[in-house]
């Protein structure tokens, strides 16, 4: 005869199922490296690589560019020095020419100004004297002859004369002799005036006058 399950089995079967939410995961333990393994397999060190290391093409190109840059700077400095020297030489030449021009320029000569007294004396020295001894030499036949003397004869001297009978001014006539014949009209007196003229055109300041009887 079957007696059925044991009490313990019944409790086991009837136990409710318990659900565990968000159960923590077991912690992971990092692997441990043994000192022996680390020493046995060292990691090789990588050396840095340069594109323009000595012996490479880029190295020689860089060196060539540096040399060209130095030569260019030297050429520019040389050009600047030559230009500066040219400017200095040009300035020196201009200064030299200017100084010579100033030193060779004749000094201005001051012309003395004549005083009024000196001017009067000079005028009296250069003045043309009047003729002297104007007189009637002959008076006959309707003709009157006058003559005179030159107190200071010089080369080129001449004389100007005219009659003064008329109230209207008569034109002057030029002659080189020291005498003149003047026609008479009836019994009318004949009067003339005579002045001395130098070769340079200067004339005596006053005319000498004389009349017939």
pLDDT in tens, 25-55: 555 555 555 545 545 555 555 555 555 566 6
The answer as to whether 167 is a domain residue is: yes
How many domains are contained in the chain? 2
Q: Tokens standing for 2?
A: 């079957």
Other Cβ atoms within 10 Å of 128 Cβ, number? 19
201 within domain boundaries: yes
Angle at 154 between CA 149 and CA 155, to 5 degrees: 120
Angle at 14 between CA 13 and CA 17, to 5 degrees: 95
> What CA–CA distance (Å, rounded) separates 29 from 11?
39
Report the pLDDT value the prediction gives residue 19, as an integer from 0 to 100.
55
Q: How far apart are CA 133 and CA 139, in angstroms?
A: 17
Q: How many CB atoms lie within 10 A of CB 61?
A: 11
Residue 168 lies in a domain: yes
**Domain check: are 147 and 196 in the same one?**
yes
The answer as to whether 23 is a domain residue is: no
* pLDDT (mean) for 57-67: 75
pLDDT single digits (tens) 111-155: 656 566 555 555 555 789 999 999 999 998 889 999 999 999 999
39 within domain boundaries: no
Q: What is the mean pLDDT of the chain?
A: 76
Residue 185 has pLDDT above 60, yes or no: yes
**Reported confidence tier of residue 108, pLDDT bands at 50, 70, 90:** low
The reported pLDDT for the residue numbered 79 is 86
- CB-based contact 160:97 (threshold 8 Å): no
At residue 178, does pLDDT exceed 90?
yes
Q: What is the pLDDT averaged over residues 65-86?
A: 81
E-only strand ranges, 127-170: 132-140, 143-149, 158-163
- In this model, does residue 5 exceed pLDDT 60? no
Closest CA to 208 of 164, 143, 152: 164
pLDDT at 104 > cutoff 70: no
In this structure, the answer to whether residues 75 and 148 fall within a common structural domain is no
Task: Quickly state the pLDDT bin for 109 (edges 50, 70, 90).
Answer: low
- pLDDT cut 70: percent of the chain above it: 62
Q: Please, what's the b/e burial string for 131-167 (b: 16 or more CB within 10 A of its CB; e: otherwise)?
A: beebebeebeeeebebbbeeeeeeeeeebbbbebbee
**Category of 151 on φ-ψ map: left (φ > 0), alpha (ψ -120 to 50) or beta:** alpha
Domain enclosing residue 72, as ranges: 51-91
The rounded distance, in Å, linking the Cα atoms of 120 and 114 is 10
CA distance 70 to 78: 12
Which one of 30, 64, 91 terminates a domain?
Answer: 91
What is the C-alpha to C-alpha distance for residues 195 and 164, in angstroms, rounded to an integer? 13
Tell me which of 43, 63, 91 is where a domain ends. Answer: 91
Report the predicted TM-score, pTM, of the whole model to 2 decimal places. Answer: 0.43
Q: How far apart are CA 65 and CA 59, in angstroms?
A: 10
């Amino acid at each position: 005869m079957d007696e059925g399950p044991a009490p313990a089995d019944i409790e086991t079967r009837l136990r409710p199922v318990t659900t565990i939410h968000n159960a923590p995961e077991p912690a992971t333990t990092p692997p441990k490296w043994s000192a022996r393994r680390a020493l046995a397999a060292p990691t090789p060190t990588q050396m840095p690589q340069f594109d323009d290391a000595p012996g490479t093409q880029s190295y020689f190109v860089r060196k060539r560019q540096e040399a060209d840059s130095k030569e260019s700077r030297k050429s520019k400095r040389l050009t600047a020095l030559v230009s500066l020297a040219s400017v200095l030489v040009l300035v020196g030449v201009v200064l030299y020419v200017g100084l010579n021009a100033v030193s060779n320029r004749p000094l201005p000569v001051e012309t003395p100004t004549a005083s009024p007294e000196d001017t009067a004396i000079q005028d009296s020295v250069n003045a043309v004297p009047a003729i002297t001894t104007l007189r009637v030499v002959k008076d006959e036949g309707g003709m009157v002859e006058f003559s005179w003397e030159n107190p200071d004869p010089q080369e080129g001297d001449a004389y100007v004369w005219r009659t003064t009978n008329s109230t209207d001014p008569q034109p002057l006539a030029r002659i080189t002799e020291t005498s003149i014949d003047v026609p008479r009209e009836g019994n009318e007196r004949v009067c003339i005036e005579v002045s001395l003229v130098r070769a340079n055109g200067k004339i005596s300041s006053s005319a000498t006058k004389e009349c017939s009887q």
